[in-house]
Structure 1
Amino acid sequence: MIPDQRETPTPSGTDKFDDDQYPAYTMGRAADMLGTTQNFLRSLDETGFLQPQRSAGGHRRYSRHQLRLAARVRELVDNGTGLDAACRIITLEDQLHDAQHQNHTLPTTD
């Protein structure tokens, strides 16, 4: 599904807060920002869609990128799509976007 964010190195110093992949948000803060429950975020972790980093104490930490993905899933779920289907739709949309970007950057043969 979505690549594991645990393997992404983060910059040091103040740059880490500009890094879209930096796990800056606790589960409670993430849920508040999304207007959802912590259980919703746990369910995204259980499906394997999001794999938040863990603090030294084992608490989930989310990046801005992960919060955007969760918001997209939540929108689909709020409109009646099942959680597994919503996760799959977002994954496929991202794969399509990546493929289109890759095709756009390929040299043309005239």
Structure 2
Amino acid sequence: MTTEGQDPLRRLDDPEYPALTMSQAADLLGVQAAFLRSLDSSGIISPHRSPGGHRRYSRRQLTLAARMRVLLDDGHPVASAEVIVGLQDELAAARADLARLRERPRRD
């Protein structure tokens, strides 16, 4: 237990928690570490840095890296893949908004 009374392992449930090293992230995604470094240098993913300067990746960042990999493997240039991912995210948000609006009671 931490001083706040919370189990420190609960942080692993947070999709933003930077839990994985670069090598762990690369192994999990089935990519070379250079792929993750290229996403970092292009500004697509900005991993957390440990006090020693090592990159740490969150689940949300790994999800983005996996989506980028699929698009790049399909032959899209990096800039196009980044735009596609952004548009997919906007569409998902719009669909979620629409679903919420449909669930609200109507005021006649």
Q: Same fold judged by TM-score > 0.5? A: yes
Give, in whole Å, the separation in 2 of the partners of 1:54 and 1:78: 28
Normalising by structure 1, we get a TM-score of 0.81
Q: Which blocks of at least 5 consecutive residues in structure 2 are unaligned?
A: 1-5
Normalising by structure 2, we get a TM-score of 0.82
**Is residue 92 from structure 1 mapped to residue 107 from structure 2 by the alignment?**
no
Q: Which residue of 1 aligns with 2:32?
A: 37
Match of 1:77 among 64, 68, 72: 72
**Is residue 56 from structure 1 mapped to residue 51 from structure 2 by the alignment?**
yes
Higher relative contact order (CA 8 A, sep 6+): 1
Percent identity over the alignment? Answer: 48
8 A contact 1:27–1:38 mirrored in 2? yes
Equivalent position SS for 2:14: coil
Amino acid of the structure 2 residue aligned with 1:54: R
Q: Which blocks of at least 5 consecutive residues in structure 1 are unaligned?
A: 1-10
Amino acid of the structure 2 residue aligned with 1:82: P
Give, in whole Å, the separation in 2 of the partners of 1:70 and 1:54: 17
Match of 1:15 among 10, 17, 21: 10
